[in-house]
Amino acid sequence: MRVEGILALQKGLGPAILYQFVMNGVRLGTFQTLVNRGVTADNEMRTREQGGHTRSMRTMSSGSSNSSSSGISSNSGGGKLARSALAGALGGALGGVVGSPLYLVKTQLQSRALQAIAVGHQHHHTSTYQALREIHMQHGYRGLWRGVEGAVPRLMLGSALQLSTFSYIKEAVRKWGWVDEGWVPVLASLLSSVNIILFMEPLDVVRTRLYNQPTDERGRGIYYRGFVDCFTRVVEKEGFFHGMYKGAGAAYFRMAPQAILGLSFWDSFRRIWYGRGFGRNGNEEMEE
């Protein structure tokens, strides 16, 4: 900030916002679509939904009041959690693929600095459009999706953890009675962010290095050949914890507000869209 000014802290803000809009739109939309189709529901829930009769609805209303709002019985909880994780992973993978060009540009714009403080390879882009156009002209569509092999595993793992555990943590916070109902999604988001950082930070390091490395005339990375090669080299040269958890503190302070806003708004929009009582049949993903 002393060298480039306070506005330098907002480098890459444009593509970062576009990336979040596109990636999370695809990620959360895919997950919710799978939820709506009953992919994440337990067997009891599927039976109830297929019945759709008055007697079944009465059974649901009486049964769900005695069960947790996460809709997990003692026999089906593990299976439902696993299905939710798979649905979240699929959403993350699709979101990562679709949003990869924007993340590529965001990373390169944020990494650019004045020569006095520059670290690593510098890409001399002036705007999001210019960067996308130049990368496409030089390396084609393959160049726009360079580094996607690092983004997809990271988003699959992160999305699976976040979307499958958010509802469970939220219900636990609600049962413990730590905070008022309005703050339950906020606290659940903060706690789920800890898990995400622990598991995703190594993948974030790999993803950033793959996106920011220079390329040869064919658009291939010069430093790393791919995800496994990058991961292996970083661990060998810098050690696992030192190399893979660089910036973990800063990453959490970025992730926590993003998770709070993203998950809380998502939770609120689902209440508005489906109605306040939606999900009381036991399907927590659409839960109250």
- 232-242 confidence digits (pLDDT tens): 999 999 999 98
Least confident of 15-19, 77-81, 223-227: 77-81
Residue 222: closest CA among 154, 146, 150: 146
Rounded to the nearest 5 degrees, what angle is found at the Cα of 15, between the Cα atoms of 9 and 17?
Answer: 85
CATH code (residue 267): 1.50.40.10
The pLDDT mean for the chain works out to: 78
The amino acid at 99: G
Per residue in 61-101, pLDDT (tens digit) is 444 334 333 333 334 456 778 888 999 999 999 999 999 99
Nearest 5°: phi and psi at 123? -105, 125
Q: What average pLDDT score do residues 259-285 get?
A: 69
Least confident of 96-105, 116-125, 128-137: 116-125
* Structural domain contains residue 171: yes
Confidence (pLDDT) at 277: 47
Confidence (pLDDT) at 129: 92
Q: Output b/e per residue, 255-266; b: 16+ Cβ within 10 A.
A: bbeebbebbbeb
Domain count, the chain: 1
Taking each helix axis from N to C end, the angle separating 13-36 and 77-111, rounded to the nearest 10 degrees, works out to 160
Structural domain that includes position 65: 6-286
Residue 186: closest CA among 282, 287, 268: 268
Q: What average pLDDT score do residues 146-168 get?
A: 86
Nearest 5°: phi and psi at 74? -65, -25
Q: Is residue 127 scored above 70 in pLDDT?
A: yes
Q: What percent of the chain has pLDDT over 90?
A: 23
Q: Is residue 3 scored above 50 in pLDDT?
A: yes
* Structural domain contains residue 1: no
Least confident of 1-5, 21-25, 50-54: 50-54
Q: Is residue 113 scored above 60 in pLDDT?
A: no
Q: What average pLDDT score do residues 14-30 get?
A: 92
If you average pLDDT over each of 91-95, 166-170, 202-206, 283-287, which comes out highest?
A: 91-95
Confidence (pLDDT) at 88: 92
Task: Note the helical H segments in 213-274.
Answer: 227-238, 240-244, 248-274
pLDDT band (50, 70, 90) for residue 48: low
Could you tell me the pTM of the whole model? 0.70
- Residue 76: count of CB within 10 angstroms of its CB: 17
Q: What average pLDDT score do residues 256-279 get?
A: 77
pLDDT band (50, 70, 90) for residue 117: low
User: What token pair was written down for 10?
Assistant: 């907002």
Per residue in 163-198, pLDDT (tens digit) is 888 878 888 888 888 888 778 888 888 888 888 888
Q: Is residue 30 scored above 90 in pLDDT?
A: yes
